[in-house]
Amino acid sequence: MSDKVSAKPDLKQRVTDFTQKYKVGEFFQKYTMIIALVVVTIVFATWKGKEGLILLPSNLTGLIAENAYVFVLAAGMLLCILTGGNIDLSVGSVVCFTAAIGCVMMASGINIWIAVLVMLAIGLAIGVFQGFWISKVRVPAFIATLAGMYAFRGFSNVVLNGYRVDISNETFLMLFGNGKTSFIPDFVRDLFPGLNGVFTKENAFLTGLIGENFVTKFNVTCMCIGLIAALIFVIFKVRKILVQKKLGISQSIAGQTVSIVLIAALALWVSFKLSCYRGFPMVLIWVGLVLGVYAYITNKTAIGRHLYAVGGNEKATALSGVKTRNVYWFAYANIGLLAGLAGILTAGRAKGIDPVYGEGYEMDAIAACFIGGASAYGGTGKVSGMIIGAILMGVINKGMIIVGVDANYQKVVKGIVLLIAVMFDVLSKRQKR
Amino acid sequence: MAKILLEMKNITKTFPGVKALDNVNLQVEEGEIHALVGENGAGKSTLMNVLSGIYPHGTYEGDIIYDGKVCRFSTIKDSEKLGIVIIHQELALVPEMTIGENMYLGNECGHKFAINWNQTYAEADKYLKMVGLTESSKVQVKTIGTGKQQLVEIAKALAKKARLLILDEPTSSLNEEDSRALLDLMLSFKKQGMTMIIITHKLNEVAYVADKITVIRDGSTIETIDNHGQEPVSEERIIKGMVGREITNRFPKREGVQIGDVKMEVSHWTSHHPLYPEKKVVDDVSFYVREGEVVGIYGLMGAGRTELAMSIFGQSYGVNFSGELKLNGQHVKLRKSEADAIRHKIAYVTEDRKGNGLVLSQSIKVNTSLANLGAVSSHTVIDGDKEYAVAEEYRDKLKIKTPSVEQLVGNLSGGNQQKVLLAKWMFAEPDILLLDEPTRGIDVGAKYEIYCIINDLAAAGKCVVLISSELPEVLGMSDRIYIMNEAKIIGEMKAEDATQESIMAAILRSGRGA
């Protein structure tokens, strides 16, 4: 009896205790953008009259294909931003230029592998060239790449003669495009023909799980890839926790478990959705590869560490025996290479190249990095954050198209999102002090 | 008894999780110089920020009574209106602007949209004269030295009609000569009736200039010492209040000193200023260090000590080098590369830990491994677990106070930051450590710990070159002392022969000779 009476006035206290014990404030600070992503997705998914549209398998596949260039370019941009808030304005033009050269080569019948290699090599060469001015001559990055932005847009026009050039090479479009062919074929089904008998509308359990529309063409291979990826992820994370435990590194097991389970579940959900449509898109392989490699570079390699250190304190890094100018060079050479890859993907998706393609790509990449928590002064920022930033922008874009927002207002919304995201970041950092 | 100008009563200020000030009381009489001393983080600056309105009324508890009235400041402007002016430790001048523009920044003469420049410069010149500066107020601030810049700050405060002047570490970036001039200026202001509060780490200055000394420790006032006796208050007496115990020996003794062969020998070392190549910043310097030896290099600020150390460390400062460097008796040609110097097992621990030493936005772990990433990685891939273990090892060894080595270095206190910097260079496994002002701006307790680390390094057979502008430190720690002045080494003394007087005398003699 008395317990009940005293419980009520303590509610406020209990809420505070709860917030402090489970570090609710810290949680919100750390996962602001993920929460924003979830909220935005829910808003679009429950939009009156368009319920669930954004979560349709075809829209999810489209989301990945349309934003592939953002992920690729933002990975490179992040490294530049890490060195001290430096950006590369030229990538949009470089994307167009490399794609133009590749398309012209393929149109004249040159082997596509040579064309692909040339595109990557040209991207890298441009990056090395711009990086030289930035790192050795110390032209401010903003200006050096602004010059590149003009020059390579001009060169693209020259190469293309001002006209569009189309690609008809099936292999190229299969590998880098997003047409019907650009998915991993369902070879698991081919290996086990018996599966065709299982995935039928008569199978009540699977029909209930997958849905009547999708069950017969459900892509088993894609689901397998998702399962394997999730499994590998869980194994690696658990191993890491065990090693850390052995070393006596303090950690919150509960928090890590929650995040592992959530990420694995998300991977499974995405692969499930993709399996319902056409399967695993080829583009996702390239994007996944780039993101994986760059997450590794930034986390685990010496050059990655040097990028953070230069952005944090260039003088101290130089006095620690690091050749800081070469770090800048690396960052800009690298984004050139990735612009070459983005050029390939852009040409593949558009089945050709037009002299105006790639305009504004640099801004999308920059925005993804900053929304993802990279510091405009350099030294902080993660690939994982950038991924969230890029997805958030992609979802907002897609969502606005689905619910029918006017194209002009879409840009207004993008601008507001960028401002709010960076504002949150600045405010949360100020609070810490 | 003189009138009490300022009384701060039961001031309590809490930050999230920390009680920075706990019932602090301070009484300042009109026309006195009141010194505020305490270890780093004791709460001195916080108290002054409460007084000047940086932390507005309502964010703290307690009362400020100024000139008999209870004051509630909500901005700095409010306190300045009453003549309470604070001069911060870091100079707040815009280098590209003129002295006059700086002095009236935010306080412009004439109308907001029509600044009266004639009046500005005339007034500015008047105040410059009061602080003993002969420069015209139309000179750009970047063209005058730090000592004079500090005087400009004071002139700026006078221009605001200061009645109570608060100086936060005014001499931390000044050499002894400029420091003394500044303290004398304070004494002359006192004669004219100005009231001042000085915050400082330098206890000899306190004894010289202060009428009363209030000691703050861990956010509370410990005591107020009167400095009107026949003898000035002894430093030991003040330190006792600051640390809560008597430090009988500020410099730990080294047991069983074992000095070996000559490890590094520098001869006829010369380097030039990077911007004015005709100016020598290191002039024909020769010295040597033996294994297990601590060699002190003493000199006033600008004597060329930092320039010497940095030019040895991969020519990281200066141009047009000449001279010879021998390591282990072998002639070594060092290229212009810090990495090269590290390979030759030389380490330079900078005097400017925030500017040149640490990446503040990164963790202790990242900073510890930065100069020797190769040792925790294979084929340029970092072994995160190994790195963590290394950081933990040095955290224990150097007693770095932190909840975790994942803590950002920017969140640590000065003393702990200095330890991280030392950890970084110890992990680079050098034979020769060039320590440039390793105890600058850190409190007495942390200093003692740094001294112990230095002794351990020497005992392990390393060569330590200790560069310092604190005479007692050089005398207390070194086996041998070199004295530098105006880019030259002007003397060498054995520690047992050297005294403060003999070293200062050597510097003065060389100054006259030149």
Residue A274 to residues A217, A220, B193, B377, Cα–Cα distance (Å) = 11, 10, 82, 39
In chain B, the residue whose alpha carbon lies closest to the alpha carbon of A301 is B381
Yes or no: domain B262-513 corresponds to CATH 3.40.50.2000: no
pLDDT at A79 over 90: yes
CB distance A315–B341 less than 8 Å? Answer: no
In chain B, the residue whose alpha carbon lies closest to the alpha carbon of A249 is B388
Using CB atoms, pick whichever of B357, B384, B388 lies closest to residue A316: B357
Which has the higher per-residue pLDDT, A211 or A237? A237
Do the Cβ atoms of A207 and A201 come closer than 8 Å? yes
At B235 the three-state DSSP class reads helix
pLDDT at A430 over 70: no
Encode burial over B215-250: b for 16+ CB neighbours within 10 A, e otherwise: bbbebbbbeebebeeeeebebeebbbbbbeeebeeb
Note whether A386 contacts B: Cβ–Cβ < 8 A: no
Neighbouring residues of A1: CB distance < 8 A, sequence distance ≥ 6: none
> Over the Cα atoms of chain A, what is R_g?
24
Mutate which: B335, B356, B409, B426, vs A, most A CBs within 10 A: B356
Report A:215-274 residues touching B (Cβ under 8 A): 243-244, 247, 249-250
To the nearest whole Å, the CA of B218 is away from the closest chain A CA by 19
3-state secondary structure B356-423: HHCCCCCEHHHHHHHHHHHHHEECCEECHHHHHHHHHHHHHHCCCCCCCCCCEHHHCCHHHHHHHHHH
Angle at alpha carbon of residue A329, lines to A142 and A297, rounded to 5° = 110
CB distance A317–B359 less than 8 Å? Answer: yes
Regions of chain B where pLDDT drops below 70: 1, 16-18, 39-41, 230, 243-249, 301, 511-514
Structure tokens belonging to residue A422 = 């960076």
Q: What residues does B467 pair with on adjacent strands?
A: B297, B436
Contact residues on chain B for A85, CB-CB shorter than 8 A: none
Using CB atoms, pick whichever of B361, B371, B389 lies closest to residue A320: B371
pLDDT of the residue at A22: 65
CB distance B404–A250 less than 8 Å? Answer: yes
pLDDT at A5 over 50: no
Using CB atoms, pick whichever of B356, B360, B388 lies closest to residue A319: B356
Q: Which amino acid is at B188?
A: S
**Interface A:B, Cβ pairs < 8 A:** 88
Note whether B381 contacts A: Cβ–Cβ < 8 A: yes
In chain B, the residue whose alpha carbon lies closest to the alpha carbon of A319 is B338
pLDDT at A7 over 60: no
A71 pLDDT band, cuts 50/70/90, is: very high
To the nearest whole Å, the CA of B513 is away from the closest chain A CA by 36
Report B:300-339 residues touching A (Cβ under 8 A): 313-314, 316, 337-339
Q: B123-129: long-range contacts (C-beta < 8 A, 24 or more apart)? A: B123/B159, B124/B99, B124/B100, B124/B155, B124/B159, B125/B100, B127/B103, B127/B155, B127/B156, B127/B158, B127/B159, B128/B99, B128/B152, B128/B155
pLDDT of the residue at B244: 67
Contact residues on chain A for B385, CB-CB shorter than 8 A: 243-244, 247
CB distance A379–B361 less than 8 Å? Answer: yes
Contact residues on chain A for B349, CB-CB shorter than 8 A: none
CB distance B316–A319 less than 8 Å? Answer: yes
pLDDT of the residue at B41: 63
**Which stretch of DSSP H or E encloses residue B240?**
helix B235-243
CB distance A303–B404 less than 8 Å? Answer: no
To the nearest whole Å, the CA of B233 is away from the closest chain A CA by 37
Residue A264 to residues A62, A129, A230, Cα–Cα distance (Å) = 22, 41, 5
To the nearest whole Å, the CA of A254 is away from the closest chain B CA by 19
Supply the ipTM of this predicted assembly. 0.76
CB distance B370–A379 less than 8 Å? Answer: no
Sort strands B33-37 and B195-199 into parallel, antiparallel or unpaired.
parallel
Do the Cβ atoms of B233 and B35 come closer than 8 Å? no
Which has the higher per-residue pLDDT, A300 or B110? A300
To the nearest whole Å, the CA of A379 is away from the closest chain B CA by 7
**Cα B432 to Cα A333: distance, rounded to the nearest angstrom:** 37
pTM equals: 0.79
Mutate which: B49, B306, B367, B373, vs A, most A CBs within 10 A: B373
CB distance A303–B373 less than 8 Å? Answer: no
Which has the higher per-residue pLDDT, A157 or B16? A157
So where are chain B's domains? Answer: 4-243, 262-513
Contact residues on chain A for B377, CB-CB shorter than 8 A: 301-302
Q: Do domains B4-243 and B262-513 have the same CATH topology?
A: yes
To the nearest whole Å, the CA of B407 is away from the closest chain A CA by 12
CB distance A247–B388 less than 8 Å? Answer: yes
3-state secondary structure chain A: CHHHHHHCCCHHHHHHHHHHHCCHHHHHHHCHHHHHHHHHHHHHHCCCCCCCHHHCHHHHHHHHHHHHHHHHHHHHHHHHHHCCCCCCCCHHHHHHHHHHHHHHHHHCCCCHHHHHHHHHHHHHHHHHHHHHHHHCCCCCHHHHHHHHHHHHHHHHHHHHCCCCEECCCHHHHHHHCCCCCCECCCHHHHHCCCHHHHCCCCCHHHHHHHCCCCHHHCCHHHHHHHHHHHHHHHHHHHHHHHHHHHHCCCCCHHHHHHHHHHHHHHHHHHHHHHHHCCCCEHHHHHHHHHHHHHHHHHHHEHHHHHHHHHHHCHHHHHHCCCCHHHHHHHHHHHHHHHHHHHHHHHHHHHCEECCCCCCCHHHHHHHHHHHCCCCCCCCCCCHHHHHHHHHHHHHHHHHHHHHCCCHHHHHHHHHHHHHHHHHHHHHHHHHHC
- Give the side-chain half-sphere CA count within 13 A for B436: 21
Q: What residues does B363 pair with on adjacent strands?
A: B408
Using CB atoms, pick whichever of B339, B356, B358 lies closest to residue A321: B339
Nearest to B266 by CA among B308, B218, B229: B308
Using CB atoms, pick whichever of A305, A313, A375 lies closest to residue B382: A305
pLDDT of the residue at B440: 81
Note whether A315 contacts B: Cβ–Cβ < 8 A: yes
CATH homologous superfamily of B4-243: P-loop containing nucleotide triphosphate hydrolases (3.40.50.300)
CB distance A305–B357 less than 8 Å? Answer: no
To the nearest whole Å, the CA of B499 is away from the closest chain A CA by 34
pLDDT of the residue at A309: 93
Stretch among A349-358, A371-380, B89-98 having the lowest mean pLDDT: B89-98
CB distance B380–A302 less than 8 Å? Answer: yes
Residue A182 to residues A278, B5, B120, Cα–Cα distance (Å) = 9, 82, 73
For each of the domains in chain A, give its residue range(s) and CATH number, in order of start: 26-182+281-432 (1.10.3470), 185-279 (no CATH)
In chain B, the residue whose alpha carbon lies closest to the alpha carbon of A20 is B17
DSSP symbol at B141: G
Contact residues on chain B for A380, CB-CB shorter than 8 A: 361
Encode burial over B342-362: b for 16+ CB neighbours within 10 A, e otherwise: bebbbbbbbbebbebbbbbbb
To the nearest whole Å, the CA of A301 is away from the closest chain B CA by 4
Structure tokens belonging to residue A55 = 């979560």
Contact residues on chain A for B341, CB-CB shorter than 8 A: 321
For tokens 């002359």, name the residue: B188
% of chain A with per-residue pLDDT over 90: 55
CB distance B381–A300 less than 8 Å? Answer: yes
To the nearest whole Å, the CA of B414 is away from the closest chain A CA by 16
Using CB atoms, pick whichever of A249, A299, A303 lies closest to residue B380: A303
| Model pLDDT for residues B123-166, shown as the tens digit of each residue | 899 999 988 888 888 888 888 877 788 889 889 988 888 899 99
Note whether A430 contacts B: Cβ–Cβ < 8 A: no
Note whether B370 contacts A: Cβ–Cβ < 8 A: yes
